[in-house]
Structure 1
């Protein structure tokens, strides 16, 4: 039998977690204040970018560009900085900026590792998902589901990236729960072996019992002595439950609404607030010079980054506007009568209507604000669970809380409504709610019990 050889050509398509995709994800979750800082940094690093409103203030005309001979222009172009501070070949990337942030601190540690490009990109995504306390706001499964399936990113890939992030300083960063945050810190704690083992058991399964202060019951559950439990407790108290505490800014953030809700021809509509949307462009004359001069790779990369940043800004604005319009469409009574008329609405409702992932809706509404007739409201405030009845007549938890507060405000002096009586009145309105839930909502509104209200009325009578 004669051996036969064959040549087979296969075409395979694969995608990478590109810088453009990372930037789009990051921009979507930034607040307007943080986005302004990102833009300011980009304008300093990339001379091809310019902010349009810097050159055309309201009431002013745009001055005509001065004609510059090509020979005089090219030397200044060659002197432009050619390296971005986050490029892998940049030796200055480990230098701390004057105003360091947790993200800067974590990125410098990431760039000091030997992680591959994909893992580095995934860790960057996780860093961008950290909340103000240093915790992840999304699960690994949610992040994987949110990424384009063509990338082929699996849960194991994200877990590897998470383990790398959790090895960084400050200890406990990247945790998904308080238990995990404390456990990460215990791995580096200096304490006797028995104390460490006991502390690990407590943070893994007995934090609630520890918080109750019943040391004897906790010792019995763990099968060890009270002295050992007390030593483990003392060790846990030295840990930091909020790893990003020292990195949080104490400066109040000025809120500029991303969305303006206006009534146009009898209908409520959502509009983008142009004052909160940075207007950037690429300097056309410089871009033309680059084409004529045959610019080097570094300059062309800056040009590509400039166009990519503008596209990311446009995509961010488009996504936020689509989500806001769907919210306004589903909650017209809120803008007409107030937040007490809020109807039950979930992230999945908007995600299904817009054919987006729930995590995209979450990013597009977190720290994004709308100017409404009733003030500036964060977009994620419009999401609330249903209480009582089902279907179209269901009320939101927020509206029920408001109804309870109004009922108590209108109750007869000296004859306050008990939680049970409020539950009965609500049921008569078609809202089925338990007495203990009434008590919970009353406490959330900062309202005293019926007995205390009655006693207070008797004193002031």
Structure 2
């Protein structure tokens, strides 16, 4: 075999550390981004938070998805030998899934984000204003002053005159409740976990104290707390009604409801009146009255103590209706980023200037790399919000009828439609629309909410699945409670509206809307 030289030209894309970070930041939610920013502030000494107004870096919407310049990735050419051209790599191209980074390649920030890219080392986010205490929403104020279920029960326990052992047992049971107010673990298991598997006498003593403490716990407010299952929870509330001797509640109905709770819960769930009549020995009218009483009880005693802050959604984008209209009379909408979620970051000027004055000193190369990393982090944060804004503007433009008329006017929209319009990849749109929220005149929605497949119509057009679900919800809300609409009837009603929708599809949409089947919606 004769050795020889050959020349071969090939082209491939390298996923640089900067683009990896850009993709990573794009998919983060608002909370995750805030945590990432705090981590970078703690880790990188060249990065600092600021409240001052400053000129934006030139990485705005117009530059967000343009091809990167060769100077930006000059150093990366050493790690991508054989590439024909690196200036065709864009943020959207790397989303396609065909690009992979070398497994053993360490992140290299040197040469990126140089002084040419950011001559003044200024912060991004000049449009964002500082957040003040008076700007916090009422929901946030309520969340910070919220009392948990355990705190509520501990406060009541302080008024009980108990010995030290019983007080400790009651405190232990309160801490063992789940978020709904149920005691999921049996008393024997709780005792075994404290005393050990071999200390049988100590276990029996603990079970005795836990039994006494459980009765005390179940006497506290909210009524039903400390129950081991749903049947016990409902029973506790019914006994409380019976003890109150409320004139508005019939005593015989309460007793019938107690007997119903002694039966398997699936009979109540299926509303099997006939079998409940046989099991309880009561008339049809009495059983229905008892079931109606049970329906008014609270199956989750801890519901009103749920942490509202955990469910608080902070929108990334704000949509407002403008007073003026377009030339054709259509309403106009303003789409803006929420300034409260935009980090205001800049490069630390003192440290950056000090580094420039000590070129060639020991450790200079490492510090220079951290400086470039800080600059690229600021750029990628800006590009993340610019991409979110562009996608949101495209969504508002496509779904303008929704912002005017509501869910029934929603149009079919898929990720590819927005991707083709903006020149991005579908995976980029998927990342942008996941865990990002938009505040609108109709409410706050995840960006993914505005996407939905289309169902065929008699006119040959398409109707959005979101609009179809809204129509089903409207039909059910207007139905006769004594004769609720079946899935087949709903499908026929949709057909009358010109929408071809099979019965199974109606059932699927009904489940998504958390609407019970017709037999469970029937009024007692």
How far apart are the structure 1 equivalents of 2:5 and 2:443?
69
How far apart are the structure 2 equivalents of 1:439 and 1:359?
30
Secondary structure of the 2:427 match is helix
How far apart are the structure 2 equivalents of 1:255 and 1:453?
31
2:498 alignment partner in structure 1 = 430
Residues 19-34 of structure 1: pairs in structure 2 closer than 5 A: 19-34=17-32
1:364 aligns with 2:432: yes
2:194 alignment partner in structure 1 = none
User: For the Cα contact (< 8 Å) 2:15–2:94, is it kept in 1?
Assistant: no
User: For the Cα contact (< 8 Å) 2:409–2:467, is it kept in 1?
Assistant: yes
Q: Which moved more, 1:357-366 or 1:333-342?
A: 333-342
How far apart are the structure 2 equivalents of 1:379 and 1:284?
37
1:291 alignment partner in structure 2 = 356
After TM superposition, give the deviation of residue 39 of structure 1 in Å. Answer: 0.8
**Could you report, residue by residue, the CA deviation over 1:51-87 in whole angstroms, capped at 9, with x for unpaired residues?**
113xx5xxxx99xxxxxxxxxxxxxxxxxxxxxxxxx
1:385 aligns with 2:453: yes
How far apart are the structure 1 equivalents of 2:450 and 2:410?
7
After TM superposition, give the deviation of residue 419 of structure 1 in Å. Answer: 2.6
After TM superposition, give the deviation of residue 370 of structure 1 in Å. Answer: 0.8
After TM superposition, give the deviation of residue 360 of structure 1 in Å. Answer: 0.4
Q: 1:413 to 1:8 in 2, by over 3 A?
A: closer
How far apart are the structure 1 equivalents of 2:12 and 2:388?
29
Q: Which moved more, 1:335-344 or 1:268-277?
A: 335-344
1:146 alignment partner in structure 2 = 95
After TM superposition, give the deviation of residue 409 of structure 1 in Å. Answer: 1.5
After TM superposition, give the deviation of residue 147 of structure 1 in Å. Answer: 4.7
The structure where helix makes up a greater share of residues is 1
After TM superposition, give the deviation of residue 324 of structure 1 in Å. Answer: 0.7
After TM superposition, give the deviation of residue 292 of structure 1 in Å. Answer: 2.0
Secondary structure of the 1:270 match is strand
Secondary structure of the 1:316 match is helix
Which runs of 5 or more residues in structure 2 are unaligned?
A: 55-78, 81-91, 104-308, 326-331
Secondary structure of the 1:400 match is helix
1:276 aligns with 2:349: no
Partner residue of 1:339 out of 403, 407, 415: 407
After TM superposition, give the deviation of residue 330 of structure 1 in Å. Answer: 0.5
How far apart are the structure 1 equivalents of 2:97 and 2:488?
50
User: For the Cα contact (< 8 Å) 2:335–2:389, is it kept in 1?
Assistant: yes
Number of residue-to-residue matches in the alignment:
274
Q: Which runs of 4+ in 1 moved over 6 A?
A: 5-14
User: For the Cα contact (< 8 Å) 2:28–2:435, is it kept in 1?
Assistant: yes
Q: 1:254 to 1:435 in 2, by over 3 A?
A: closer
Residues 228-377 of structure 1: pairs in structure 2 closer than 5 A: 252=310, 254-264=312-322, 265-266=324-325, 267-294=332-359, 296-377=364-445
User: For the Cα contact (< 8 Å) 2:401–2:410, is it kept in 1?
Assistant: yes
Q: 1:447 to 1:16 in 2, by over 3 A?
A: closer
Secondary structure of the 2:357 match is helix
Residues 118-137 of structure 1: pairs in structure 2 closer than 5 A: none
User: For the Cα contact (< 8 Å) 2:403–2:441, is it kept in 1?
Assistant: yes
Greater relative contact order (CA < 8 Å, ≥ 6 in sequence): 2
**Could you report, residue by residue, the CA deviation over 1:285-307 in whole angstroms, capped at 9, with x for unpaired residues?**
33222212226111111110011
Q: TM-score, normalised by structure 2?
A: 0.47
Q: 1:273 to 1:344 in 2, by over 3 A?
A: same
Secondary structure of the 1:364 match is helix
**Could you report, residue by residue, the CA deviation over 1:329-372 in whole angstroms, capped at 9, with x for unpaired residues?**
10012222333432211111111111111100000110111111
Q: 1:391 to 1:280 in 2, by over 3 A?
A: farther
After TM superposition, give the deviation of residue 374 of structure 1 in Å. Answer: 2.3
How far apart are the structure 1 equivalents of 2:516 and 2:366?
66
How far apart are the structure 2 equivalents of 1:281 and 1:43?
10
Q: 1:52 to 1:339 in 2, by over 3 A?
A: farther
Larger Rg: 2
1:441 aligns with 2:439: no
How far apart are the structure 1 equivalents of 2:390 and 2:510?
35
After TM superposition, give the deviation of residue 437 of structure 1 in Å. Answer: 2.1
2:286 alignment partner in structure 1 = none
Q: 1:374 to 1:299 in 2, by over 3 A?
A: same
